[in-house]
Amino acid sequence: MTFPYANMTDNFGRDITYLRVSVTDRCDFRCTYCMAEDMTFLPKKDLLSLEELERLCSVFIAKGVRKLRLTGGEPLVRRNVMELVRQLSRHLESGALEELTLTTNGSQLSRFANELAQHGVKRLNVSLDTLDPSKFQEITRWGELSKVLAGIDAAQAAGLHVKINAVALKGFNDHELPDLMRWAHGRGMDMTVIETMPMGEIDADRTNQYLPLSQLRAKLERQFTLNDIPFKTGGPARYVTVEETGGKLGFITPMTHNFCESCNRVRLTCTGTLYMCLGQEDAADLRAPLRASEGDELLSNAIDEAIGRKPKGHDFIIDRRTNRPSVSRHMSVTGG
């Protein structure tokens, strides 16, 4: 089925078809590579209402977005977030939206997995960096591994396809990643490993955490047969199949090999700020045009102007001479 909507195309010829929406900057974890332990979150009065978020998403869908991912923070801690999922699901039913997905830490999945499936969510990503309960608590500060594993069980029981996302952290989980991959593949879940990114001030030194995935792949190839494949889920991961496990493994490499040439994504925050690039500070305020008129013309024009400013690429860097993050905002503000 086709729709009479114009695609959003930036100045480099990239069609923008993927919107990631941070429904909250709050999270029930404090992962050491993502947040400071004593985080200051946005005042609730600054957040868009769920109705406003739904209206914004619907305008993007009408302008050519085909895949929408809800993120945070932790999206499932936003009060009444399932009402937003329910409202957005009508675009799945009409065929205007091809996919509605979610990235979560898994802590709330036992509560919401069935409802997500009922509203048309077919797959989700769960962030999980270790299967060691003590190390899990160390990296998340507040998390309980048992709750996340129970959430994954609930998601699979509800028929959701789960993909595991693991941030590769030198000296912390790098030696565990082969076993984490075996575990994921053994349960029918694909896995993606991600390089840590210099976003926001944290308590740790990222130069001590950073592990180039080229090094990780070289180590994996001593144990496994990795075959490159053209498989895509709409995101930036480059995938291989692992002959020994039969599963897929993705690599997201914003530091060692950026994926900007094919970037089809923009990110919307819970305050209505649109970031055209994860690694740049330039942004557009969509809250003002959203609230200035009951019609969507002002909002549509503001989106067009912002897409026209989408940069060719980002400038992430991690080294011992660069102690400050490449961008000041935390990932939880932008949306993972």
Instruction: Tell me if 73 is assigned to a ligand binding site.
Output: yes
> Would you tell me the crossing angle of helices 50-62 and 81-94 to the nearest 10 degrees?
20
CB 299 within 8 A of CB 53: no
Tokens 């009508």 belong to which residue? Answer: 90
Structure tokens at 296: 């969507």
DSSP-based three-state secondary structure for 125: strand
The reply, when asked if residue 127 is annotated as ligand binding, is yes
309 and 275 Cβ atoms separated by less than 8 Å: no
- 57 carries a ligand binding annotation: no
DSSP 24-93: -S--S---TTT--SS--PPPGGGSPPHHHHHHHHHHHHHTT--EEEEESS-GGGSTTHHHHHHHHHHHHH
Signed CA dihedral, 39, 272, 255, 228: sign only: positive
Using DSSP bridges, classify how beta strands 190-195 and 161-168 pair: parallel, antiparallel or unpaired: parallel
Rg (CA), the chain: 19
Question: Annotation-wise, does 320 bind a ligand?
Answer: no
**CA nearest neighbour of 164 among 203, 207, 134, 194:** 194
The SS3 of residue 323 is coil
Report H helices in the chain. Answer: 50-62, 81-94, 109-118, 133-140, 145-157, 177-186, 206-209, 213-220, 287-292, 297-307, 331-334
Flag whether 321 is marked binding: no
Q: Is 260 annotated as a binding residue?
A: yes
The answer to the question of whether 90 is labelled as a binding residue is no
59 is in an annotated binding site: no
Asked if residue 270 belongs to a known ligand binding site, the reply is no
31 is in an annotated binding site: yes
Residue (of 255, 258, 268, 236) closest to 334 by Cα position:
268
Measured between alpha carbons, how far is 95 from 73 in angstroms, rounded to an integer?
28
Q: Which of 72, 84, 85, 82 is nearest to 41 (CA)?
A: 72
Q: Do 153 and 146 form a contact (C-beta atoms < 8 A)? A: no
- Is 103 assigned to a binding site? yes
Annotated binding residue 263: yes
Per the annotation, binding residues are: 20, 27, 31, 33-34, 69, 73, 103, 127, 163, 197, 260, 263, 265-267, 277
Per the annotation, binding residues for [4Fe-4S] cluster are: 27, 31, 34, 260, 263, 277
Per the annotation, binding residues for GTP are: 20, 69, 103, 163, 265-267
Per the annotation, binding residues for S-adenosyl-L-methionine are: 33, 73, 127, 197
